[in-house]
Amino acid sequence: MKNLLDFSPEVKAALEAGRPVVALESTIISHGMPYPENLTMAQEVEGIIRSEGAVPATIAIMDGRCKVGLTEAELYRLATEKDVAKVSLRDMPIVLAKRLLGATTVATTATIAEAAGIQVFVTGGIGGVHRGNAGSPAQVWDISADLTVLGRCATTVVCAGAKSVLDIPATLEMLETLGVTVVGYGTDRFPGFYTRDAGHGVDARVDSPAEIAAVIAARAATGMPGGVLVVNPVPEADALDSAEVERHLGVALADMAREGVAGKAVTPYLLARMKEVTEGRSLAANLSLVRNNARVGAKIAVALGQQG
């Protein structure tokens, strides 16, 4: 993997000097939000990370290489081009070999970040275990590779939980099986992406970046593979109402089954539908939680550096 990495000069210099670096995914840019909000979000999030004293490293696949740190022009391509591949682990060899433009999911971004020596990675929401839904067979077997990767990469992932469209208890059980440490930042509840509580608890609550850094250092000291998942709830002012989200997701799931949407198209479909039915409030929540995660992720990266 190391031979496939192309670092931006800024990220390369920061890693060599041991300065804090925060990785960012690109599926959220190409498939998670519409243009122009996606581009503004990507630039803004990089700015937040810089203002906290860390260096942002947005990750994507281009011209047969894994890019760690992107130029303005590269961010623009990801935000505007029509045919950007959504790259989960299984897709990575194909997108590399065919030299396609690829936006990396949490699974792929964390894998590349670990190879690059980046300890902290900020995203919006992680993938998980999907529920069976109307019109689909009772036994669906749609489990995101995001979970597998959390179980094997040492990268700390900061997110706002997972959407309640997933089977949250099954997702939490799977994280337990994989040995992932799940901590709530200022909360003992597992957040539901648009909402602050998906109805289940986390392993432990942590209240400061220093406390999280201590957990990360302790995990590293054990030598176990896998990482820490930091769940950081969407700010109160931008959170959506749980009952409203459930109602909208119910309708979207039924439509999705009727239209035959499945596999990797599911998450982008649901995000776009939610934006329509909430008249943009889901997008506002999404933007708010990503900014919030960027701030916390950068503070964790800085605190990790101070641990020595």
How many chain residues touch ligand PSU (CB under 6 A)?
A: 18
**Shorter beta-carbon distance to ligand PSU: residue 253 or 303:** 253
Of these, 62, 106, 230, 245, which contacts ligand PSU (CB under 6 A)? 106
- 264 interacts with ligand PSU by CB under 6 A: yes
Pairing of strands 204-206, 120-122: unpaired
**Shorter beta-carbon distance to Mn ion: residue 215 or 266:** 266
Q: Are 213 and 206 in contact (CB under 8 A)?
A: no
- 163 interacts with ligand PSU by CB under 6 A: yes
- 227 interacts with ligand PSU by CB under 6 A: no
Of these, 56, 69, 102, 127, which contacts ligand PSU (CB under 6 A)? 127
Of these, 96, 146, 198, 301, which contacts ligand PSU (CB under 6 A)? 146
- 46 interacts with Mn ion by CB under 5 A: no
Q: Which stretch binds Mn ion (CB under 5 A): 91-99, 135-143, 186-194, 221-229?
A: 135-143
- 27 interacts with ligand PSU by CB under 6 A: yes
Locus of tokens 């590779």 = 145
How many other C-beta atoms lie within 10 A of the C-beta of residue 72?
10
Start-end of H helices in the chain: 9-17, 27-30, 37-51, 72-80, 92-97, 106-116, 145-150, 168-178, 209-222, 242-259, 266-277, 281-306
Residues 6+ apart with CB under 8 A from 304: 20, 119, 120, 213, 216, 217
From the list 149, 161, 139, 133, the residue with the least C-alpha distance to 249 is 133
Of these, 25, 37, 142, 146, which contacts Mn ion (CB under 5 A)? 142
Q: What is the 8-class DSSP label of residue 166? A: B
- 56 interacts with ligand PSU by CB under 6 A: no
Report the C-alpha gap between 147 and 111 in whole angstroms: 12
- 269 interacts with ligand PSU by CB under 6 A: no
Residues lying near ligand PSU in the complex (CB under 6 A) are found at: 25, 27-28, 32, 88, 105-106, 124-125, 127, 144-146, 163, 193, 264, 267, 271
